[in-house]
Amino acid sequence: MNISRITRKLAVCATVLAFTTVGIQAPVMADIVDTPMLALQADLQMQREDVRVLMARDDVRASLLGYGVSPADLDARINSLTQSELLQTQNQLDNLPAGSGAAGVVLTVILIFILLELLGATDVFPNI
């Protein structure tokens, strides 16, 4: 076989292939994106970032690691939240009082000590 024949056959095949694929049209779906839709997407992204910032705190990360949630899983879970789940999570986090867990525990322990002292079960406060 001659190299020019092979080259000519390849050129003919490439030309036929080019003409047949030019006529094929892929279906395309397009829609108009309105301003409220863009604003909703931007708001959703900002809410995700707020939750990420809160979850990036060291004490929150340590608590989540204690429950067995890895940081990579946490980011994937935040990304997969729907808008309603994200709003619910953010509202719950906003409504939590700051530092109430530790103060509640300390007050409960003091109350128990006072009650035990008044009942005479312990002698924690000798001047009472």
Instruction: Kindly state the average pLDDT of the residues 24-53.
Output: 79
pLDDT, one tens digit per residue, over 68-108 is 777 777 777 777 777 777 777 777 766 766 655 666 666 67
Instruction: Kindly state the average pLDDT of the residues 8-30.
Output: 78
Report how far residue 126's alpha carbon sits from residue 128's, in angstroms, rounded to the nearest whole number. 6
Q: How confident is the model at residue 49 (pLDDT cuts 50, 70, 90)?
A: confident
pTM above 0.75, yes or no: no
CA dihedral 96, 100, 102, 106 (to 10 degrees): -150
Contact 124, 116 (CB under 8 A): yes
Give pLDDT, residue 100.
55
